[in-house]
Structure 1
Amino acid sequence: MQRSMSQTGNQVMSIYETYADTLFRIAMVHLGRREDAEEATQDTFIKLMEKAPAFNDAEHQKAWLIRVITNHCKSVLRRGWRKREVKLEGVESTITDDPEDQALIELVLSLPVKYRSVVHLYYYEDYAIRDISQILQISESAVKMRLQRGRQLLKLELEGEEQR
């Protein structure tokens, strides 16, 4: 029994080292606050240890973790004490050293959650539309529409910045 627990702990640590940064970024995209994102990431790994699901491969494992953290973030945003509109205080500039890249990241983070999550998964996590559809449990056409609208909003913001 002792050996089994040790092996499970090592597996979780390996999974944590592989996916913690990705999950944290996804939580930041949804929640906008470092503390909430850290808690969501922690809760996702707790759920992994509790459920101990069997995965077909690494992609299945990653998709499961993203689904869990996305659901957790949605439930945090639904809580009555939390405002619908999330202030993005403390968005770390350590994501990138390039001020132009940082400005673009901040624009993406300012999008409404339903566009922000799709844009983030597509452009920053390199997921295909079909994969995003499965992760977020929405249709592929909804993913395409959200990407299109997210791009339109970003374009309007960028054009507005140029005119200032």
Structure 2
Amino acid sequence: MGEQEKYFVDETELRNVMTQYGTSLLKLVYSYVKNWATAEDIVQETFITYSQKFYQFKGNSSLKTWLYKIAINKSKDYLKSPKNKWKYLNLTKLKLSSHLKNPDEELEKNTESYVVAKCLYKIDIKYREVLNLYYYEDLAIKEIAYLLSIGESNVKTRLNRGRKKFKSHYVKEVEENGRKIKEAKDILE
């Protein structure tokens, strides 16, 4: 392998990785930033980082886990940036001033997946990220611990606390809207 080749990922390989992991990375990043355009930008940055630093991947974890770690770190960096904080405050004011809702928004709000997502977004990020990785991305506790740079016992604790927090928000949300509460086994248990 030539010196220059080892620093650039093959275009075909990059396309395959993007096809295989793009959607799941987008969902994961959205769970942090709560904005599709921003999530798409961060996922694009994740793939750029992958293409530039793929040679640093040692195989200690799966490629999926390594990409998730890059995406999570970029998401957290975005959330910490001062630019993001001002943007978020302005968007919140804009949303509060708008009382008009279109029919698609009203229909979407009545779906079970919307209620689940709404309740997930009400809990702290440290619990939401663990629940998301465990239930939606089907990652093992060991992989989540690696991704978040925390111990496996900490992951289990966050899962337990996150389930309880989610369940309390879910029950409250469902009761306020006069809907039937799903069985406990269906509520992230």
Amino acid at match of 2:142: R
TM-score by length of 1: 0.82
- Give the Å deviation of 1:56: 3.4
Answer yes or no: is 1:56 the counterpart of 2:56: no
Structure 2 equivalent of residue 140 of structure 1: 152
Mind listing any 5+ residue stretches in structure 2 that lack a counterpart?
96-104, 177-189
Matches of 1:12 and 1:69 in 2, distance apart?
Answer: 16
Structure 2 equivalent of residue 131 of structure 1: 143
Structure 2 equivalent of residue 42 of structure 1: 44
* Structure 1 residues 6 and 130: alpha-carbon distance in aligned structure 2, compared to 1, 3 A threshold: closer
**Deviations for 1:1-27, whole angstroms, at most 9, x for unmatched residues?**
8xx699800100000000000110110
Matches of 1:135 and 1:147 in 2, distance apart?
Answer: 15
Matches of 1:76 and 1:134 in 2, distance apart?
Answer: 21
Paired residues of 2:69 and 2:147 also in contact (CA < 8 A):
yes
Matches of 1:100 and 1:15 in 2, distance apart?
Answer: 31
Matches of 1:127 and 1:135 in 2, distance apart?
Answer: 10
TM-score by length of 2: 0.72
RMSD of aligned residue pairs (Cα, Å)? 2.8
Matches of 1:55 and 1:22 in 2, distance apart?
Answer: 22
Structure 2 equivalent of residue 9 of structure 1: 11
- Give the Å deviation of 1:103: 1.3
Amino acid at match of 1:56: G
* Structure 1 residues 83 and 41: alpha-carbon distance in aligned structure 2, compared to 1, 3 A threshold: same
Answer yes or no: is 1:120 the counterpart of 2:132: yes
Matches of 1:158 and 1:125 in 2, distance apart?
Answer: 21
Matches of 2:162 and 2:9 in 1, distance apart?
Answer: 43
Runs of 4+ with deviation above 4 angstroms? 4-7, 86-89
Equivalences for 1:52-91 in 2 at 5 Å?
52-53=54-55, 54=57, 56=59, 60-83=62-85
Matches of 2:45 and 2:154 in 1, distance apart?
Answer: 28
Structure 2 equivalent of residue 109 of structure 1: 121
Amino acid at match of 1:124: Y
Equivalences, count = 154
- Give the Å deviation of 1:153: 1.1
* Structure 1 residues 70 and 6: alpha-carbon distance in aligned structure 2, compared to 1, 3 A threshold: closer
Structure 1 equivalent of residue 20 of structure 2: 18
Amino acid at match of 1:23: L
Answer yes or no: is 1:159 the counterpart of 2:159: no
Matches of 1:140 and 1:103 in 2, distance apart?
Answer: 29
- Give the Å deviation of 1:150: 1.1
Paired residues of 1:55 and 1:61 also in contact (CA < 8 A):
no
